Amino acid sequence: MFEYAPAPESRDVVDIKPSYGLFIGGEFTDGTGTPFKTVNPASEEVLSEVASASADDVDRAVRAAREAFGTWSAMPGSERAKYLFRIARIIQERSRELAVLESLDNGKPIRESRDVDLPLVAAHFFYYAGWADKLSYAGYGPSPRPLGVAGQVIPWNFPLLMLAWKIAPALACGNTVVLKPAETTPLTALLFAEICRQADLPPGVVNIVTGAGETGAALVNHPDVDKVAFTGSTEVGRLIARSVAGTRKKVTLELGGKAANIVFDDAALDQAVEGVVNGIFFNQGHVCCAGSRLLVQESIAEELLEALKRRLATLRLGDPLDKNTDIGAINSAAQLAKIRELSDHGELEGAERWSPACALPERGFWFPPTIFTGVAQSHRIAREEVFGPVLSVLTFRTPAEAVEKANNTPYGLSAGVWTEKGSRILWMADRLRAGVVWANTFNRFDPTSPFGGYKESGYGREGGRHGLEAYLDV
Amino acid sequence: MSRTESPARLAVRKTYKLYIGGAFPRSESGRSYAVTSSKGEFLANASRASRKDARDAVAAARKAFGGWSGATPYNRGQILYRIAEMLEGRRAQFAAELADAGTKRPGDVVDAAVDRLVWYAGWSDKIAAVAGSANPVAGPYFNISSPEPTGVVAVVAPDDPLLGLVSVVAPVIVTGNTCVVVASERAPLPAVTLAEVLATSDLPGGVVNILTGSAKEIAPWLAGHMDVNALDLTGVSDPGLAVACEEAAAENLKRVLRPAPADRADDWAADPGTRRLTAFLETKTVWHPTGI
Amino acid sequence: MTTSFADVASSNVALRTFLHGLPGVDRVGADQRAAMLGTRSVKTTAKAEAIDLAIRMVDLTTLEGADTPGKVRAMCAKAVHPDPADPAVPKVAAVCVYPDLVAQAVGALAGSGVKVASVATAFPSGRSSLDVKVADTRLAVEAGADEIDMVIDRGAFLSGDYVKVFEEITAIKEACGRAGGAPGKEHGAHLKVILETGELATYDNVRRASWLAMLAGGDFIKTSTGKVQPAATFPVTMVMLEAVRDFLAATGRAVGVKPAGGIRTTKDAIKMLVLVNEVAGDGWLTPDLFRLGASSVLNDLLMQRQKMATGRYAGPDYFTLD
């Protein structure tokens, strides 16, 4: 094979401080919890030490947000818009720095942080900036009011993008926020705090509290939080839904998924293969809407699998900062253990495991792209979210069977359909119980396009006009 | 009711039963409770639904969901309008039942219930245009979001026997959801009569399932039921029950419409708007590339 | 051809059934895949190797009304010694000229190992009778051409007359044969089939035309004449690479691919090699199975090559214009 020489993106564009504090009321302050280390999952190198917010720190942050809420919500929408535009511009200006930092802290390939995450982050701020002075036209009444202080907890798979999905609409609608980034990926959120300062955003409008689960719980359960937005596991989503019972808090949850990617025998085969690959190996499969179940029509199963395996053999796994890397590092040792456990279980259950020849680096957290064939609906790998580069392959015979199998899960976040027949696409799209249906494409995102799940994949939508509802008192 | 004279003919009394899957079964538990008028007079025995009745009702609602959500919005609108017609035709009967239940100006209330049905009937083929969107994504894709019914919705109806019930059931079903509704415990008879209206309005069996009995007893079972997608707690006046139901609903991430605060407890009676429609809708976004 | 394809060309109905039964190509997905591969970063040693490989794959081309024997001789000299100052620079694969100038090129390249390719079949439109096309081909073959770059009848293809396209290709293939040819040229000329993808408009058509050309016996499939825009785009080249990959799997015969027209920079050339590598596989990374039909790209490859060697950016004045 034509071996491309190493093509590492320069790390010099980022300046990681040895330690970081909490961002409260426009200032970086110490936390009273025990600081924790964040590591580069590709090398296990410690990147920095980060403050941990205790319940008291969270309370300070909520109070700062409450204090800022008065002026921020009273500010004309057109002025709020300009702050958001300013933030969007700074993100564009510093996009390479943010992309490199994201890849360092998260382990995702620079090609993705550079070409997917960062452009979407900037676009999201641009999009919601434009809504700030047009809320009366959004279909939520003549002058919809913000909710107040939003407590937002985000995951580690798209640290900055999830931050954008949470903060941009919240601020556009006139809310102030306290955001907790994931414990393993706090750095880009802290750089974003710096960007807020560069943009002269009024103190307290955005507060960032770092920490683990307890910090998140303190935020979600804080009595002066009006709105809770969470992206993460269904397990934690359940706890949150329970904990807000009986309160006035408005809640949106974007949780897990076990999406079916359904390939019919008349599909554009090469693009379907790409879609399947992109569906499950994008971001190492750390994607809630990942197409983790391939449902292929039996008549082409063999042909498709052969093409898929051939394609997998060309995936380049390794240094996330190398511009040619397709598969980066697994985000953490804990996640790697979970992926291994479920995959081993897949073999125990009798599914056949396959990975391309693929050398894994010695240090860091790595898992090869993996396909399981001979998977039954009842297998754990067909039901549980692996959240890793692991694809379960199942077959079907008729469109009705495909729908039945696709919907046979407590989740309902996304689904894929591959066929060249238009009427079948619409028939399928109609019947798939999922918040996003990608037909002849997969894993596409856009700030104008609402995203969110059915059933145990959560509720509420992020993106588009629909995304405003989560942050307005309607 | 005077009992001093023997009537010339003995009246055939109605047995008030549950409404599940289009049929009128008694509670599987064999239980009933005495319903009295607002003046304390015995009116009838109503079925006291059990958790197993609730389970059967959920199964019926789930079974009906595919057909009802798959029906054309025009068809659903026609059926809701038909319900309004049937209700109007039984105006006198409902007015009498409401009077027994102590409702003031019962005729006006029946009219309001009819009008509310008409309001929601018209939404069947309009809500998608209002709640949906065409999304101008930055790429060669056709992208559209449309509202879809959430699934099976469990509803605790307000205590108001007819208008309250209609106000919470109509918005749930007009968009294609099916429901299990716990009727007013105090005055369940109009709910059972409404079931007769539903049964003669071309509404497929199972779309609306009406349980009479104790909300405190049944609602937690519905809230915890893993095949229920959403929970409308509008009629729950006991805060403890509301919290318990919301907590139980978290188990499968049900969409929950909380009861209005006490000072706005008759929120359901206000100008209906679209909130009760959108509370039980999912937004589905479909992408497709645009190319030759 | 394996037996399964034996009857495919028996009628338009049979050909249509076969070609339209091939999997479709989703344009947006194909564009995205090609664009993603375009982000591959090929640097340092890999770049140096890629540049030399690309030079060895160039079909140095002149196809102008103003072509003269002098112009062709000059181009042939360049083909053999692309950079007179650096003998380490490899020769290009072939020169590509009109049929009447084949003899000039054959003379100029004798013993060099650089092949002579000739366009034929009423190039570039292909709008003439089969007799004329066959005669055009024979002219070039008899003058010593090693390779014939024919054009398909796009009109026939677009009107669904696949049999006509098929039969023309087989006829030209036959005309490429050379009984009692010169030493080393006994086996006749290799046939490259130009699809003129810019006129076929859809990727589905590109895939079908690729298969049609391969079924009819083409040794290479080539994107374009260079006279129609768009010419050799990355997605079109990718679709053709998928076709040869699938054809090999189905028949055991490896067919070459030649993007032609619009490849002007080293970056473009390397992107093409990345496409070959990741779509068809490294088996195609040889001038026997992949060519770059171009002229101006050669100087850019030379300039980049010099930059790699000296560390300085090169200037056009230091390379010959031919």
Q: What is the mean pLDDT of chain C?
A: 95
Q: Are C40 and A420 inside 8 Å of each other by CB?
A: no
Closest listed residue to residue A19, CA positions, set A45, A47, A42: A47
B160 inside domain: yes
Convert the pLDDT of each residue in C255-296 to its tens digit: 999 999 999 999 999 999 999 999 999 999 999 999 999 989
B20 inside domain: no
Assigned fold of C3-312: TIM Barrel (3.20.20)
Query: In CATH, which of 3.50.30.40, 3.40.50.1820, 3.40.309.10, 3.30.465.10 is domain A260-439?
Result: 3.40.309.10
Backbone angles phi, psi at A296, to 5 degrees: -115, 140
**A112 contacts A199 by C-beta, under 8 angstroms:** no
Assigned fold of A19-255+454-469: Aldehyde Dehydrogenase; Chain A, domain 1 (3.40.605)
pLDDT-derived band at C1, boundaries 50, 70, 90: very low
Q: Are C28 and B290 inside 8 Å of each other by CB?
A: yes
pLDDT given at position A192? 98
How many CB atoms are located within 10 Å of the residue C178 CB?
17
Helix (H) or strand (E) holding A122, with range, is helix A118-131
Backbone angles phi, psi at A360, to 5 degrees: -95, 135
Distances (CA, A) of A122 to A88, A89, A198: 5, 7, 15
Rounded Cα distance between B19 and B200, Å, is 13
How many CB atoms are located within 10 Å of the residue C174 CB?
13
Decide if pLDDT at A123 tops 70. yes
Chain B residue closest in CA terms to C29: B289
pLDDT given at position C14? 96
Q: Are C26 and B289 inside 8 Å of each other by CB?
A: yes
Rounded Cα distance between A289 and A306, Å, is 25
pLDDT given at position C186? 63
Q: Are A4 and C42 inside 8 Å of each other by CB?
A: yes
The CATH number for B38's domain is 3.40.605.10
Give B-chain residues touching C28 at CB under 8 angstroms: 139-141, 289-291
**A209 contacts A215 by C-beta, under 8 angstroms:** yes
pLDDT given at position B265? 80
Instruction: Provide the shortest C-alpha distance from residue C145 to chain B (in Å).
Output: 38
**Which chains neighbour A (Cβ–Cβ under 8 Å, 3 or more pairs)?**
B, C
pLDDT given at position C179? 64
Binding-site residues on chain B for chain A (CB distance < 8 A): 70, 130-131, 133, 135-139, 141, 143, 145, 150-151, 229, 239, 242-243, 246-247, 249-253, 255, 275, 282-289
Residue ranges covered by each domain of chain C: 3-312
Give B-chain residues touching A433 at CB under 8 angstroms: 151
B26 inside domain: no
B4 inside domain: no
Give A-chain residues touching B138 at CB under 8 angstroms: 123, 446, 448
- A·B CB contacts under 8 A: 107
| DSSP secondary structure string for all residues of C173-202 | HHHT--TT-STT-TT--EEEEE--HHHH-S
pTM over 0.90: yes
> Of B135, B255, B275, which has the smallest distance from its Cβ to A449's Cβ?
B135
pLDDT-derived band at A345, boundaries 50, 70, 90: very high
For B146, the domain range is 32-289
pLDDT-derived band at C6, boundaries 50, 70, 90: confident
> Of C33, C43, C285, which has the smallest distance from its Cβ to A2's Cβ?
C285
Convert the pLDDT of each residue in C12-27 to its tens digit: 999 999 999 999 999 9
- Catalytically active residues of C, by annotation: 149, 222, 258
Distances (CA, A) of B235 to A253, B159, B256, C251: 25, 6, 13, 71
Decide if pLDDT at A172 tops 70. yes
Pair of tokens at residue A247: 């309160």
Decide if pLDDT at C184 tops 90. no
pLDDT given at position C321? 81
Decide if pLDDT at A297 tops 70. yes
Least-confidence region, from A387-396, A420-429, B263-272, C191-200: B263-272
Which amino acid appears at position A149 of this protein?
V
Give C-chain residues touching A282 at CB under 8 angstroms: none
pLDDT-derived band at C182, boundaries 50, 70, 90: low
Q: What is the mean pLDDT of chain A?
A: 97
pLDDT given at position C322? 74
Mean pLDDT of A404-431: 98
Q: Are A437 and B287 inside 8 Å of each other by CB?
A: yes
Rounded Cα distance between B231 and B183, Å, is 14
Q: Are A4 and C40 inside 8 Å of each other by CB?
A: yes
Mean pLDDT of A379-401: 97
Task: Give percent above pLDDT 70 in chain B.
Answer: 98
Residue ranges covered by each domain of chain A: 19-255+454-469, 260-439
Rounded Cα distance between B109 and B106, Å, is 5
Pair of tokens at residue C74: 């000059």
> Of C40, C43, C242, which has the smallest distance from its Cβ to A270's Cβ?
C242
Mean pLDDT of A131-135: 98
Give A-chain residues touching C46 at CB under 8 angstroms: 2-5
pLDDT tens for each residue of chain B, 292 residues long:
445 667 789 999 999 999 999 999 999 999 999 999 999 999 999 999 999 999 999 999 999 999 999 999 999 999 999 999 999 999 999 999 999 999 999 999 999 999 999 999 999 999 999 999 999 999 999 999 999 999 999 999 999 999 999 999 999 999 999 999 999 999 999 999 999 999 999 999 999 999 999 999 999 999 999 999 999 999 999 999 999 999 999 999 999 999 998 888 888 888 888 999 999 999 999 999 999 9
Distances (CA, A) of C125 to B45, B123, C263: 91, 60, 21
Convert the pLDDT of each residue in B191-209 to its tens digit: 999 999 999 999 999 999 9
Decide if pLDDT at C183 tops 90. no
> Of C29, C44, C282, which has the smallest distance from its Cβ to A275's Cβ?
C29
Structural domain total, chain B: 1
pLDDT given at position C174? 96
